[in-house]
């Protein structure tokens, strides 16, 4: 049996490290997918953030921020309870407005794709049928 040289050991360790990292990211992705599949249309609670509600109900966060009179903030993790306190109103009122916005957002079909998003027409092969 042949012994491995230090080059082979380095390559083996790099391969195993890449395999480990890939596995960790794969497990993380699967866990997130399972979590959000099980938390669709979850009852809105005061501890939730606007982005959490948007993800659970599959509506754009901007729609919900507009419904409660807020401007969207990147990485906003404030719970609804805190937003209601800042606006000096009951959290139940805030939740009610979010629910109305969700119903309204779901009742309208999405806008048609912009010309940049549409695929170009198929090209003919240069011959007529």
Instruction: Name the percent of the chain lying above pLDDT 90.
Output: 63
How does 26-62 read in b/e, with b if 16+ C-beta sit within 10 Å? eeeeeeeeeeeeeeeeeebeeebbbbbbbbbbebebe
Residue 13's pLDDT is 94
Q: Which residues pair with 79 in a beta bridge?
A: 49
- DSSP designation for 127: S
Average pLDDT over residues 28-45: 86
pTM of this structure: 0.65
Average pLDDT (74-94) is: 94
Helices 91-107 and 50-57: crossing angle in degrees, nearest 10, is 30
72-81 residue pLDDT tens: 888 899 999 9
pLDDT at 129: 52
Cα-only R_g, the chain: 25
Q: How far apart are CA 98 and CA 44, in angstroms?
A: 9
């Amino acid at each position: 049996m042949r012994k491995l040289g230090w080059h082979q050991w380095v390559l083996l360790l790099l391969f195993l490290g890449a395999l480990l990292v890939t596995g960790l990211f794969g497990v993380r992705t699967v866990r997130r997918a399972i979590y959000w599949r099980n938390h669709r249309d979850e009852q809105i609670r005061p501890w939730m953030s606007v982005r959490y509600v948007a993800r659970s109900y599959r509506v754009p966060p901007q729609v919900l921020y507009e419904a409660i009179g807020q401007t969207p903030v990147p990485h906003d993790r404030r719970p609804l309870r805190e937003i209601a306190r800042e606006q000096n109103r009951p959290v139940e009122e805030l939740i009610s407005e979010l629910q109305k916005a969700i119903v309204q957002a779901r009742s309208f079909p999405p806008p048609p794709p912009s010309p940049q998003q549409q695929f170009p027409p198929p090209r003919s092969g240069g011959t007529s049928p």
